[in-house]
Structure 1
């Protein structure tokens, strides 16, 4: 059961290095944060624009396919029906 409980091993000066590191860490300067968010925003807008263009192409292709599909099915049935009657 000892593996569930973290036991501190080694010299006493090593025991709190993670806590000291986390507490001494600070946020980056405000301009760095602002530049980061501007870059993320521009990447997101670029993705949205290309995504919307791709969606428009997909919708047009789907509409065209759904427009042509009934005609193709009618020709397919007309082509298959004489063959089905002749085999009877």
Structure 2
């Protein structure tokens, strides 16, 4: 257990950040699921719009440090390729 004031404060801070970061990742997952659902339905217009909405959310996750940039790049690439294949 933490025995210095700094360590105790770090634990409190980490727990607050865990909630915020968890919400952020959950929001990103929701946007990605919307794209995947549109791809599954076969509607290219809806999928394209969903992808346009998801991309800034994914990039925000990278800038906030909750997702690695290569992970987001890979996911975005795969989603883009899947939307393009609907044509």
Normalised by the length of structure 1, the TM-score is 0.42
Q: Looking at secondary structure, tell me which structure has more helix per residue.
A: 2
Q: Which structure's CA Rg is the greater one?
A: 1
